[in-house]
Homo-oligomer: A and B are copies of this chain.
């Protein structure tokens, strides 16, 4: 009996209160089209020492005692929660999409790491007294190394959740951001554990060279061996043991084990959990029902408990030092947005997409706070710097979603047909029926939007039933309005014409699929009008239909839409 009767009461009560306020504000932020994670972190600030602790200190002390079993039990829960969240995030990663983005991810992560590191290191090394460190102290180098690392590390859980909330996690851009963040954080943690080792603050665990070997061995084992074993094992488990019980267990047993291993090696537990999620989620034998059960339970019950716990840790008013906060903010924003953005641009994205990626990578959160706390305990930073890091982590996380949305809009929403309908979106199809065409295009659209093919196809078929979308002259323009942030236009040249029930009875030989954000009727009408006026002429349809290769068609369409 480690927890007393009275502590059990407080423990259950405070979980109930935390869950309520976190999810309530989360839902409220959802209503104003913000990711719910912001509401959940904000709920922590309201319930933490900053507000509740200052206004009703007795209630605060009762609900969140600082001594005894409750804070330890609570940290046990939030540790499990963040590990579970990363397992779920891993399950949703599309490995083949990441592999396709290697080049962009490489540039994004390299620049998104090096530039923030320099921006963090240089001022801290040359002006340590500004951050409360004596200039002649032997710790200046360590301090500067720490600040460089703290600014260059991302926050995988925050980024993954933000992308999930924005419905972007499974999209191409989401995968670039996730892939870059993984690489970033892996390096960041290695450097950080190296700093801790130099400070003598790391008393257990293993040496630095060994650590690198462990990580390398771990990644090789997970991706090259265990991934294939799991793909073979899942059908066996599902057949031999109870379903979905045994699969749920398998996922968490493996996830916790991998988490324990990476934590042991000195990288944070969440990496192992994330990688375990990725390699299990990669198996085609993992059923949708299993994912759904885990996803719903973890994102709705455990993730909020983790995010609200961040705000509970500090008093943001008492330890507030404006100049330090501002400098840290400027360095953090500049370093990550410029660094990751520049990397994405060099990796082949357009300017607005690069800025969106820059802000996507800019999210800090849990990681900085954990790092900051370790550094504070080791006497490496002052409390004012710690508060600045926390505020920076929160602001970067809070601005991530709106800024991404804004630049994605600039990049995608306001563009005209010629910008959206690039050669990547043009296909030559050999289809038997309109259903065939729609199914193939829905599969392509699924990759761009992060929605499922089945869902998109259903929407398209429903729309088709309502009113056929064959226009005239052999052109058909199926469309759907979905919950996405930017429009997708795909053009299919059909090798043999297929009936789309046009009023002139001419079967369609060119099909333009328009998927537009549900709340943007005008955008859809503009795209439709542009498609009809620029491509709808009988001669032009015929010319496009005669194309034999995608390049030829793309060239021709460019000449029509320019």
Contacts and interface: CB of A to CB of B under 8 A. Distances in A.
A374 B75 CA distance: 25
Tell me if A's interface is mostly helix, strand, loop or mixed. Answer: helix
A20 B301 contact: no
Interface string A58-81: 000000000001011111110110
Given A27-B241, A253-B20, A300-B249, A3 B79 contact: yes
Range of interface residues on chain A?
A: 35 or more
12 contacts: A12-B79, A12-B83, A12-B259, A13-B260, A15-B80, A16-B256, A23-B246, A23-B249, A73-B79, A77-B80, A245-B299, A248-B297
B300 A245 contact: yes
A12 B269 contact: yes
Given A301-B248, A374-B1, A16 B253 contact: yes
Given A8-B79, A264-B9, A2 B297 contact: no
Nearest to A263: B9
A296 B245 contact: yes
A12 B246 contact: no
Contact of A72 (B9, B13, B73, B80): B73
A470 to B, nearest CB: 36
Contact of A263 (B12, B257, B264): B12
A293 interface: yes
A433 interface: no
Given A1-B374, A23-B249, A257 B77 contact: no
Interface string A281-300: 00000000000111011011
A23 B256 CA distance: 15
B77 A76 contact: yes
B79 A6 contact: no
Contacts of A244: 296, 300
Nearest to A202: B5
A16 to B, nearest CB: 4
A373 interface: yes
Given A1-B374, A263-B8, A293-B293, A300 B73 contact: no
Contact of A373 (B1, B79, B254, B293): B1
A251 to B, nearest CB: 9
Contacts of A500: none
Nearest to A295: B293
B242 A27 contact: yes
Contacts of A254: 16
Interface in A336-384: 373-374, 377
Q: Which 6 A-B pairs have the closest CB atoms?
A: A73-B76, A16-B256, A13-B260, A12-B260, A245-B300, A297-B297
Contacts of A256: 12-13, 15-16, 19
Query: How many monomers of this protein are in the complex?
Result: 2
Interface of A: 1-3, 5-6, 8-13, 15-16, 19-20, 23, 27, 30, 69, 71-77, 79-80, 83, 202, 204-205, 241-242, 244-246, 248-249, 252-254, 256-257, 259-260, 263-264, 266, 269, 292-294, 296-297, 299-301, 304, 373-374, 377
B76 A9 contact: no
Contacts of A246: 23, 27, 300
Contacts of A264: 9, 13
A242 B165 CA distance: 12
A78 to B, nearest CB: 10
**Which of A260, A269, A299, A373 has the most C-beta atoms of chain B within 10 angstroms of its own C-beta?**
A260
A73 B71 CA distance: 9
Contacts of A257: 12-13, 16
A72 B5 contact: no
A133 to B, nearest CB: 22
Contacts of A8: 79, 263, 269
B252 A301 contact: yes
B297 A5 contact: no
B252 A19 contact: yes
B377 A11 contact: no
Contacts of A69: 72, 75-76
Contacts of A16: 252-254, 256-257, 260
A326 to B, nearest CB: 27
Given A245-B299, A249-B301, A297-B297, A3 B204 contact: no
B301 A205 contact: no
Given A13-B256, A30-B242, 11 more contacts: A5-B204, A5-B205, A5-B266, A6-B204, A8-B269, A11-B76, A12-B256, A23-B253, A244-B296, A293-B296, A297-B297
A76 B3 contact: yes
Nearest to A204: B6
A199 to B, nearest CB: 14
Nearest to A237: B27
